[in-house]
């Protein structure tokens, strides 16, 4: 019942997972945000989405997460309920809970329960102290962003959708994200990240912008 999964040690994602877009368009209300976007991602590859504010990076990620329907074109992606992690702009953290309680909830959503030592372990790996007593509301913005990475560790899913993963993170935090990303790619996962800056782990870039 109580399983501690060190999910990065020998996890291998299925190489069958596929993420592909063909002539994809996105509309918010009556406005076309973007159209004609095509890409194909295989296991172990990472894509970086670049573009100005409002170019639709977040919308594309939400389409891949199944939260926003495609206005035109085709989109193939893993089942969001089992195969995708979506880390958006908002943290999804509750200020009145402790770190341990937050991690316990993450674990429960992944379908298991672990003991406090495991949570302390994960918190330590994320660079957060005071797992048992620290309230999320008292953490800094950077620390909160680190905490949101916990579900990536605790729940193995092939596709990661990261919206501005480096915001509010210091150098150590960015190194953490890069490490996690590289380990994930090595084990056969896929990453699509939207970012204003260059990401070290990305293989390719897609630029969203007005047609030239």
Partner 1 sequence: MRIFAAICSQHMHLSWRSGQTMLAVSFLFIAITLLPFGLGPELNLLRALAPGLLWVVLAISLLTGLERLFQADYEDGTLDRLLLVPLAFEAVVLAKLLGHYLALVLPLILAVPLAGLLLNIEAARLPVLLAAMLCGSPALVLLGGIGASLAVSVRRGGLLTVLIAMPFYVPVLIFGAAAARAGLETGVAVGPYLGILAALSAASLLLAPFAIAAALRSALR
Partner 2 sequence: MLKALENISAFYANPTRFMALARQVHRPLWALAIGVLAYGLYRVAYVPADYQQGDSVRIMFVHVPAAWMSLFGYSFIFIASVTALIFRHPLGHVAARAAAPVGAVFTLLALITGSLWGQPMWGTWWVWDARLTSVLVLFFIYLGYIALWQAIDEPTRAARAASILAIVGFINVPIVKFSVDWWNTLHQPASVSRLARPALHADFLYPLLIMGAGFLVLFLALTLTRMQMEVLRQRLRARARKGEPPHV
Residues contributing to the site for partner 2 (CB under 8 A): 28-31
Task: Single out the segment in contact with partner 1 by CB under 8 A; choices: 8-16, 39-47, 109-117, 203-211.
Answer: 109-117
* 91 binding partner (options partner 1, partner 2, none; Cβ < 5 to 8 Å by kind): partner 1
For 173, what's the count of Cα atoms within 13 Å in the CB-facing half-sphere? 18
Spatial distance between the Cα atoms of 208 and 35, rounded to a whole number of angstroms:
9
90 binds partner 1 (CB under 8 A): yes
121 binds partner 1 (CB under 8 A): no
Q: What are phi and psi of 183, to 5 degrees?
A: -60, -40
Helical (H) or strand (E) element with 73? strand 72-76
Tokens 């296991």: give the residue.
43
Spatial distance between the Cα atoms of 9 and 6, rounded to a whole number of angstroms:
6
157 near 83, Cβ under 8 Å? yes
Positions 18 through 37 that interact with partner 1 (CB under 8 A): none
* 31 binding partner (options partner 1, partner 2, none; Cβ < 5 to 8 Å by kind): partner 2
73, 80, 127, 142: which one contacts partner 1 (CB under 8 A)? 80
82 binds partner 1 (CB under 8 A): yes
Q: Shortest distance, CB of residue 84 to partner 2, whole angstroms?
A: 23
7, 18, 70, 97: which one contacts partner 1 (CB under 8 A)? 97
Alpha-carbon radius of gyration of the chain:
17
């Amino acid at each position: 019942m109580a399983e501690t999964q060190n999910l990065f040690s020998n996890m291998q994602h299925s190489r069958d997972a596929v993420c592909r877009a063909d002539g994809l368009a996105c509309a918010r209300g009556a406005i076309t945000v973007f159209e004609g976007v095509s890409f194909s991602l295989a296991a172990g590859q990472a894509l970086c989405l670049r573009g100005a504010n409002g170019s639709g990076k977040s919308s594309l990620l939400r389409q891949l997460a199944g939260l926003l329907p495609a206005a035109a074109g085709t989109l193939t992606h893993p089942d969001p309920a089992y195969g995708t992690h979506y880390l958006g702009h908002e943290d999804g953290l509750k200020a009145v809970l402790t770190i341990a309680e937050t991690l316990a909830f993450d674990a429960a959503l992944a379908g298991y329960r672990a003991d406090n030592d495991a949570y302390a372990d994960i918190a330590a790996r994320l660079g957060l102290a005071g797992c048992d007593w620290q309230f999320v509301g008292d953490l800094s913005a950077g620390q909160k962003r680190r905490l949101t990475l916990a579900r990536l560790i605790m729940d193995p899913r092939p596709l990661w959708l990261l919206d501005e993963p480096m915001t509010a993170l210091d150098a150590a935090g960015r190194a953490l994200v890069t490490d996690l990303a590289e380990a994930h790619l090595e084990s056969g996962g896929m990453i699509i990240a939207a970012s204003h800056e260059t990401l070290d782990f990305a293989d390719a870039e897609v630029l969203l912008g007005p047609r030239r």
